[in-house]
Amino acid sequence: MRYLPLTADDRRAMLAAIGVETVEDLFRDLPASARIQDPAAAFDLPDHQGEWEIEQALSALAGQNLSAATAPSFLGAGAYRHHTPAALDYLIQRGEFLTAYTPYQPEVSQGTLQALFEFQTQVAMITGMEVANASMYDGATACAEAAAMACRVTKRKKVLVSGSVHPHFAETTTTFLRYTDCEVEVLSPDVFGLEDLLGRLDDDLACVIVQTPGFFGPLKDYTTLAEAAHEYGALLVVATTEPLSLGLVTSPGEMGADIVVAEGQSLATPPGFGGPGVGLFATRSKYVRQMPGRLCGETVDVDGRRGWVLTLSTREQHIRREKATSNICTNSGLIALAFTIHMTLLGEAGFTGLAELNHARACAAADALGKVKGVRVLSQTFFNEFALSLPKPAEQVVEALAARGILGGVPASRFFPTYPELAEVLLVTVTEMNSDEQVAALVAALTEILA
Amino acid sequence: MSTSVTTLTGNRGLQVEEKLIFEQDQPGRTAVDLPAVEPYLDRLGGLRRRGAIGLPGLSEPQVVRHYTRLSQKNYGIDTGFYPLGSCTMKHNPRLNEKMARLPGLADIHPFQPESTVQGALKLMHQLAHWLKTLTGMPAVALSPAAGAHGELCGVMAIRAALEARGETRTKVLCPESAHGTNPATAALVGFEVESIPATADGRVDMAALKARLGPDVAAFMVTNPNTCGLFERDIIEISQAVHQVGAYVYMDGANYNAIVGRVRVADLGVDAMHINLHKTFSTPHGGGGPGSGPTVLSAALAPYAPVPYVVEQADGAFHLVEQVLEATASGQQPFGRMKGYHGQFGVFVRALSYMMAMGRDGLFQASGDAVLNANYLLARLSAALSPSFDGPVMHEALFDDRFLKDTGVTTLDFAKAMIDEGFHPMTMYFPLVVHGALLMEPTETESRESLDAFIEAVLGLAERAKAGDAEAFQQAPRLTPRRRLDETAAARRPVLRWTPAVE
């Protein structure tokens, strides 16, 4: 078998060195009543297969999916499709990155560590914050950890989640805190960015969590909210699911956020059916010892040369056990590497330029879609995703578009089935990957379906 | 003894010093060419960013060279033997990478209409089938993102099940050898953690466990094989005792690689176990993730599994249950949602590709070879090192630092000396139950030649330590891009990002 180097001779010689007769003897601590001797009798599963057989089987499954590689895609709602430069996938597949463990032995992990230090710096820069960690699982779990951290920092127990926040972020946060003494209140979906958060602040609040751009698109200035929250002694947590927006829009840090969390997938990997992504987590320096997750820090070696190590690990589970700031261990290292490589390829000019391009294309597409009979653009402000109101249930329209080979958007009802007023709301994303021809095809198909 | 070779540049042959990207910045440089944007009316509502971000600009050749040089400062499984105990650093087949990059699996979106992603849902269903069949468990939650996240899933299901029974139990018991994630997870779910001592042979002290079990205990979390590399022989009796007081058994599956195909955990009385796909099922660790921690659940816990999950409908189509409300309508009682979207799908593809490659016969052979390799290390190293417990061991062999007594060499020194010999060190100082632990996990993907080379190096170093050459150990490593780093200074005055020099 191709992944197993031992030969029958090796096994015999090794058993002799150990002083047992058979490999089964080594399993003698397993309860005899439960021990399996014959896998063929025990499991209704296939035996081993060659490479091409697996390629054929998995390619057949892949073939049953409509991929954005062939179908125009306007899908977003937290997962975005951007072009990834060819160098990116080549670099992350270098075996020294791909097949390394967490950098616990810094002398043989300086590559991963330096990349993480650069990642942390880039994340802090684009969010407008002072420090960032080495990544979380994804944006939703980063959001949940931010809520828990706010409760630790403020020693309070109430978390308020705005209706602008991605429903999966809100649900994950609610679940994460479900069995703690913290309580989470999630407000109704906020399509237009008009909800009143100022009126809901009080002295018991640990944090208020908002999202920019909002789940339905709107961009909001949270400066006043930050100031008001701070007056009540609460923290402002700002989430984002599209970090490319930070290349064009005022950063949460400039608005006064205390913690910024984001899903970094859009700049790191294709949507990949939603995972793995990478959670970005940034905050103020004064809160660094309350942060969850790994941190890479600068130091020197015994020869005085600059180098990097994982640091402040007294916050973490392997040292602090039940008193740790989080139970997180493995995070999303390789996707963080993909994120940082893409950010490095883009640089200042590429990052801001790509953001501008996305916004310009989305504006043009919104104008074109708004002219389709019966369609209204609900988002007055947005980045690359906006909400449309349709004259029919959005779910039906999306199915009809899919039948025409177009992935036309995400119906809000997928997330909010109990809100009938959202049944006809469609989220549409336009990125640099959507050509003018694709937008024209969407407009034409929508016109036909709604006629 | 010279500590390092000095050159004019600081470079040493293939080891090239590499500045931070921020120190290579030239304004205006980019590695991406974008079309010009025509003038347009923006919809930013006055929130256009003012001022530069400060991101560095590099061209494509510079970026490729930067990360290539960084990669050369890393040790990976592709580089050599990586016997990091408890981490299962096995070969990562490249077929898995190729499969995960098929456009029909990578370039699909989590919120496409279900009718357009039947292949993806079927793939998740197939992965679930393999995991349920191998463990004998009736249900699996695929969405947990890593091992610790899977623990959280299992312990939350336990808490939900207890609440459904109308019971408040406050304690979770863990053996003292447990991974730090176990107590950290239990605390996140609102439980207090108590330690159960071990016996002299490195296993759970049954008498102590039974004495502590009672109506206040929610669960017993046990890693099996345990962190000393030993199988908990009494696991069935443990499960019975735990169930007798109405508590649940959480088995930490970090070390599942040793027993795949050898026993079904359902037959051991387990209620929940996470499976690290990035260990047992060969998906790459990537310098710290992403992982994936599907959690198998017993019939008692299955109703509380989180959303989302895939169901096969009567017409043969696959459906993803995403909303708690929909699940409750069909009689489930999910405790909620653990992460965004549908789980670590890209890791699922890789794990399934591996399982299909190995098959039931190959998986059985793999656990056999993993255990054989570990016992071979134990047998060949026992005379010179100090094994903490008698074998047979499972997938890993645990030594402590008694063999270094009076040599002036510590476990840390010994591990660093391994680096100069071309090996990644073993896990150091874990588990905490023995002094100066050296935990070695070879996995099944190492050849006998590779093990023999490692054994010769370890034996040679042990001899050198006993010969009194402590100085050489304390200077190690000498041949790495950086020598020992000052971790105390890093923690005392944390520098966690680059900042521009003040002019």
HEC string for B210-243: HHHCCCCEEEEEEECCCCCCCCCCCHHHHHHHHH
3-state class (DSSP) for residue B449:
helix
* Residue matched to tokens 């892949």: A62
Chain A residues 10-69 with CB within 8 Å of chain B: 10-11, 13-15, 17-20, 23, 25-31, 33-36, 39-40, 42-49, 51, 53-55, 57-69
Q: Which CATH architecture has domain A348-450?
A: Alpha-Beta Complex (3.90)
* Residue matched to tokens 């029919």: A392
Shortest Cα–Cα distance, A50 to chain B (Å): 6
Report the residue from A3, A11, A100 with minimal CB separation from B445.
Answer: A3
Q: What tokens does A65 get? A: 């999916």
Integer Cα distance of B422 and B454 in angstroms: 9
Integer Cα distance of B285 and B77 in angstroms: 10
Q: Identify the CA nearest to A282 among candidates A227, A239, A249.
A: A239
Integer Cα distance of B361 and A43 in angstroms: 10
| Sequence ranges of the domains in chain A | 86-342, 348-450
Q: What are the beta bridge partners of residue B204?
A: B198
Q: What are the beta bridge partners of residue B310?
A: B320
B39 in A contact zone (CB under 8 Å): no
Q: How many CB atoms lie within 10 A of CB A403?
A: 13
Report the residue from B67, B75, B336 with minimal CB separation from A91.
Answer: B67
Shortest Cα–Cα distance, A424 to chain B (Å): 16
Q: What are the beta bridge partners of residue A47?
A: B359
3-state class (DSSP) for residue B159:
helix
Alpha-carbon distances, residue B503 vs A82, B22, B499, B500 (angstroms): 37, 16, 12, 9
Alpha helix locations (H) across A72-182? 86-92, 95-98, 110-127, 139-154, 167-176
Question: Which chain B residues have a beta carbon less than 8 Å from that of A75?
Answer: 109, 111-112
Shortest Cα–Cα distance, B108 to chain A (Å): 5
Q: What tokens does A83 get? A: 């072009």
Contact call for A141 and B77, based on CB within 8 A: no
Question: Which chain A residues have a beta carbon less than 8 Å from that of B481?
Answer: 107, 110, 307
Interface test with B, best of A260, A273, A326, A363 (most B CBs within 10 A): A273
Q: What's residue B1's pLDDT?
A: 43
Q: What tokens does B266 get? A: 């359902």
Domains in chain B (CATH in brackets) are: 95-351 (3.40.640.10)
Interface test with A, best of B14, B50, B67 (most A CBs within 10 A): B67
Shortest Cα–Cα distance, B197 to chain A (Å): 16
3-state class (DSSP) for residue B422:
coil
Q: Find all residues with CB under 8 Å of B392, minimum gap 6, and list them.
A: A18, A20, A25, A26, A27, A28, A29, B371, B375, B378
Report whether A1 contacts A51 (CB < 8 A): no
ipTM entry? 0.98
Alpha helix locations (H) across B268-426? 324-329, 345-381, 411-420
A399 in B contact zone (CB under 8 Å): yes
Q: From A130, which residue of chain B is nearest by alpha-carbon distance? A: B497
Helical pair A51-63 and B118-135, crossing angle rounded to 10 deg? 130
Q: What tokens does B233 get? A: 């022989």
What pTM, to 2 d.p., does this model score?
0.98
Shortest Cα–Cα distance, B465 to chain A (Å): 21
Residues of chain B whose pLDDT is less than 70?
Answer: 1-5, 503
Report whether A333 contacts A135 (CB < 8 A): yes
Q: What's residue B147's pLDDT?
A: 94
Contact call for B494 and A382, based on CB within 8 A: no
The residue type found at B111 is F
Integer Cα distance of A196 and A194 in angstroms: 7
Alpha-carbon distances, residue B496 vs A76, A316, B84 (angstroms): 32, 16, 27
Q: Produce one character per residue of A271-309: b if its CB has 16 or more CB atoms within 10 Å, e if not.
A: bbbbbbbbbbbbbeeebbebbbbbbbbbbebeeeebbbb
The residue type found at A441 is A
pLDDT in tens, B336-360: 999 999 999 999 999 999 999 999 9
Cis peptide before B290 (omega within 30 of 0): yes
Q: What's residue B501's pLDDT?
A: 82
Integer Cα distance of B362 and A195 in angstroms: 58
Size of interface A-B (CB pairs under 8 A): 736
Contact call for B498 and A10, based on CB within 8 A: no
Cis peptide before B144 (omega within 30 of 0): no
Q: What fold is seen in the domain A86-342? A: Aspartate Aminotransferase; domain 2 (3.40.640)
Report whether A442 contacts A74 (CB < 8 A): yes
Report the residue from B63, B102, B326 with minimal CB separation from A58.
Answer: B102
Q: Produce one character per residue of B29-39: b if its CB has 16 or more CB atoms within 10 Å, e if not.
A: bbbbebeeeee
Task: Let me know how many helices (H) and strands (E) chain A has, helices first.
Answer: 15, 13
Chain B residues 305-364 with CB within 8 Å of chain A: 306, 322-326, 335-347, 349, 352-353, 356-364
As a whole number of Å, the CA-based R_g of chain B is 26
Contact call for A94 and B68, based on CB within 8 A: yes
The residue type found at A172 is T
Q: What is the pLDDT along chain A (451 residues), one digit of tens a residue?
A: 999 999 999 999 999 999 999 999 999 999 999 999 999 999 999 999 999 999 999 999 999 999 999 999 999 999 999 999 999 999 999 999 999 999 999 999 999 999 999 999 999 999 999 999 999 999 999 999 999 999 999 999 999 999 999 999 999 999 999 999 999 999 999 999 999 999 999 999 999 999 999 999 999 999 999 999 999 999 999 999 999 999 999 999 999 999 999 999 999 999 999 999 999 999 999 999 999 999 999 999 999 999 999 999 888 888 788 888 888 888 999 999 999 999 999 999 999 999 999 999 999 999 999 999 999 999 999 999 999 999 999 999 999 999 999 999 999 999 999 999 999 999 999 999 999 999 999 999 999 999 9
Q: Which long-range contacts (CB under 8 A, 24 or more apart) does B130-135 make?
A: B130/A45, B130/B352, B130/B355, B131/B275, B131/B294, B131/B296, B132/B296, B133/A43, B133/A44, B133/A45, B134/A43, B134/A45, B134/B260, B134/B261, B134/B264, B134/B363, B135/B264, B135/B265, B135/B266, B135/B273, B135/B275, B135/B296
Q: What tokens does B218 get? A: 């929610």
Instruction: Give the H or E element holding residue A426.
Output: strand A425-429
